[in-house]
Amino acid sequence: MIHVHTYEKWWIALTIVMLVAFTAAISVSAFANGIQLPSPEARVDPKTIAQTPPFDKPGLRELSPGKYEAYILAQASPWKFYPAEIRVKVGSTVTFYVTSVDVQHGFKIFDTNVNMQILPGQVSKLAHTFDKVGEFPYACAEYCGVGHQNMFGKVIVEP
């Protein structure tokens, strides 16, 4: 019979209690509260997406005064975002739809909460209201190859 030290037994018991508690917390949040991982807005074919509307003409669409949709393509080799500049009036809400034509990228707009993973084959969507005048640069936030540092652009918020 192996002798297990008393403190060791407590730690084993505590570990089991913690595992049960964490499993219960995850189950409650997933099933009772319905919390999920973000899911793709749409599934697309990365090989043809650059020729498929609305991504064949990437850029800003005005839905109504102060409400916009921005369709953005991320691409490696050459490493670029299309478009690299977006211009809106202060107070505008922009819903970003971003996808990749090749590898995994990121889309992060500095000084905002916009920071999405951009995967080939799916569209990532997030809305943001620009309440401050200024320039908000965006950049790729996932290392995507030797030209990664060239992937940037900016949202210009005008008065």
Minimum Å gap between C-beta 88 and Cu ion is 23
Question: Which of 142, 141, 138 lies closest to 157, judged by CA?
Answer: 138
Minimum Å gap between C-beta 39 and Cu ion is 22
Q: Which of 86, 94, 140, 155 binds Cu ion (CB under 5 A)?
A: 140
Q: Given the rule CB under 5 A, which of 3-11, 32-40, 83-91, 147-155 is the region that contacts Cu ion?
A: 147-155
- Strand residue runs (E) in the chain: 42-43, 59-64, 67-75, 80-82, 85-89, 93-100, 105-109, 115-118, 122-129, 134-139, 152-158
CB atoms within 10 A of CB 94: 22
139 binds Cu ion (CB under 5 A): no
Q: Which is nearer to Cu ion, 114 or 151 (CB)?
A: 151
Q: Given the rule CB under 5 A, which of 16-24, 63-71, 102-110, 119-127 is the region that contacts Cu ion?
A: 102-110
Q: Which is nearer to Cu ion, 86 or 98 (CB)?
A: 98
Question: How are beta strands 67-75 and 93-100 bridged, if at all?
Answer: parallel
Pseudo-torsion of CA 93, 98, 104, 108, nearest 10°?
-20
151 binds Cu ion (CB under 5 A): yes
Q: Given the rule CB under 5 A, which of 17-25, 32-40, 107-115, 136-144 is the region that contacts Cu ion?
A: 136-144
